[in-house]
């Protein structure tokens, strides 16, 4: 993609031969990425090989990600050695390609997850033919067609003491693409106050599709501290959304439409902590973000208030949550590529959602983030409040 070409540009210019440049120009002309005039301009206005290489790669980058991917594929086909040497074979930038961004996580740089979104191609292997298996959460083509997800992203903050979340636009784009590929209708909100987040979750709990869906995903991305995410008008403790409210609003008592259905929660936000260095850290104010804001638990109903024929069920069940870090620690976000957690979710789901249930997917994400640690940039995502009683597969059919 365009970002990946940026990282390999220097090595590409150093190593590509004039013959390969000519072949690549013919390839992208045939693809319709450039026209005859653009091809002639690259060749005639840049008699030196290195200048032709720069003009080629810069022209394609401006054409967007689809054009960039096609060029990368042509490089691999025309010169496999060049493809490997510049760092394209692993999907990672070559080590010297971008020294200013040396602290970015060493992972595949993807504009968004490229999960194939059809029932047949997204079928999982291990659970094939288990549509009616009582040991997994039921999923049907009809329930898939009624899936709905809530996506809330806070990017710009009104309080001058709170940094805007650079790179969060990429997170929002990646998550919306992934949710859509998983066939969820996305209810999207951007830049909400704490109260507005609460209202959005309540509204979501009343969505008409919840009666027919097999599951929901709720993704909230913002600054945060232990137990809360911050609204965009944050000033100290004035504008917060308690994470516990998600479980309250979508739990059995307040949202019976989701009874016995998986509710998957993803929270990208700090849970306290210390400032970052090169990579922007989701740390609005370290003195405040370490505080643990206790939320009162709703009182349990007295037994004598319940008639004998009352259908009793668990107040909180069928949830699974992935939080971006352990309690009291920060979460990291790259200014260009977005949050580490969201990058790895997009990558992992693309590679493994065909065959793994949600708990395995989360575990793979946790390991990937852990293994990406560089120096003091360390983050450990945490699976939290898991009350799933069966495996949940996004597409368990044959």
Q: How many other CB atoms are there within 10 angstroms of residue 125's CB atom?
A: 9
In angstroms, how far apart are the furthest CA atoms of the chain? Answer: 89
Query: Alpha helices of the chain — where are they, by DSSP H?
Result: 2-15, 18-31, 36-44, 49-62, 65-78, 80-85, 141-145, 168-181, 194-204, 244-250, 286-289, 340-352, 358-371
Identify whether 223 is a catalytic site residue. Answer: yes
Q: Are 82 and 75 in contact (CB under 8 A)?
A: yes
Of 246, 266, 262, the C-alpha closest to 254 is 246
Residue matched to tokens 């490229």: 114
Residue matched to tokens 């409210």: 245
DSSP string over 336-347? TTEEHHHHHHHH
* Integer Rg of the chain from CA: 24
Residue 170 has, within 13 A of its CA and on its CB side, a CA count of: 23
The whole-angstrom separation of Cα 258 and Cα 242 is: 21
Give SS3 for 131: coil
DSSP-derived secondary structure letter, 283? -
Catalytic entry in 74, 189, 223, 334: 223
Catalytic entry in 189, 249, 270, 290: 270
The whole-angstrom separation of Cα 78 and Cα 74 is: 6
Strand partners, 188: 151
The whole-angstrom separation of Cα 213 and Cα 118 is: 17
Identify whether 270 is a catalytic site residue. Answer: yes
Give SS3 for 123: coil
The whole-angstrom separation of Cα 225 and Cα 323 is: 12
The whole-angstrom separation of Cα 221 and Cα 264 is: 14
Residues labelled catalytic: 223, 270
């Amino acid at each position: 993609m365009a970002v990946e070409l940026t990282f390999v540009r220097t090595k590409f210019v150093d190593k590509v031969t004039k013959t390969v440049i000519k072949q690549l120009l013919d390839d992208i002309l045939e693809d319709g990425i450039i026209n005859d005039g653009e091809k002639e301009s690259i060749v005639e206005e840049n008699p030196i090989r290195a200048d032709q290489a720069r003009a080629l790669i810069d022209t394609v980058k401006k054409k967007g990600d689809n054009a960039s991917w096609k060029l990368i594929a042509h490089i691999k086909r025309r010169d496999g050695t060049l493809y490997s040497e510049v760092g394209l074979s692993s999907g990672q930038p070559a080590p010297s390609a971008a020294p200013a961004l040396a602290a970015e996580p060493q992972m595949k740089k993807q504009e968004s997850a490229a999960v194939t979104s059809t029932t047949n191609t997204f079928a999982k292997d291990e659970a094939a033919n288990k549509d009616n298996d009582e040991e997994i959460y039921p999923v049907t083509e009809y329930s898939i067609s009624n899936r709905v997800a809530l996506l809330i992203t806070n990017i710009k903050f009104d309080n001058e003491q709170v940094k805007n979340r650079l790179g969060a636009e990429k997170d929002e784009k990646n998550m919306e693409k992934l949710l859509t590929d998983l066939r969820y209708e996305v209810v999207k909100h951007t830049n909400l106050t704490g109260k507005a987040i609460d209202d959005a979750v309540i509204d979501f709990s009343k969505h008409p599709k919840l009666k027919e869906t097999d599951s929901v995903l709720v993704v909230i991305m913002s600054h945060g501290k232990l137990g809360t995410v911050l609204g965009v008008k944050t000033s100290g403790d004035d504008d917060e959304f308690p994470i516990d409210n998600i479980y309250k609003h979508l739990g059995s008592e307040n949202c019976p439409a989701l009874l016995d259905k998986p509710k998957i929660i993803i929270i990208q936000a700090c849970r306290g902590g210390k400032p970052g260095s090169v990579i922007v850290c989701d740390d609005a104010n370290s003195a405040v973000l370490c505080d643990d804001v206790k939320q009162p638990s709703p009182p349990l109903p007295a037994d004598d208030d319940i008639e004998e024929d009352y259908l009793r069920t668990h107040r909180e069940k069928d949830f699974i949550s992935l939080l971006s870090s352990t309690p009291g620690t920060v979460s990291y976000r790259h200014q260009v590529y977005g949050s580490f957690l969201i990058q790895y979710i997009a990558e992992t789901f693309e590679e493994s959602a065909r065959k793994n249930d949600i708990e395995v997917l989360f575990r793979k994400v946790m390991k990937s983030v852990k293994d990406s640690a560089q120096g003091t940039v360390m983050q450990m995502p945490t699976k939290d409040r898991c009350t799933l009683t069966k495996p949940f597969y996004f597409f368990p059919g044959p």
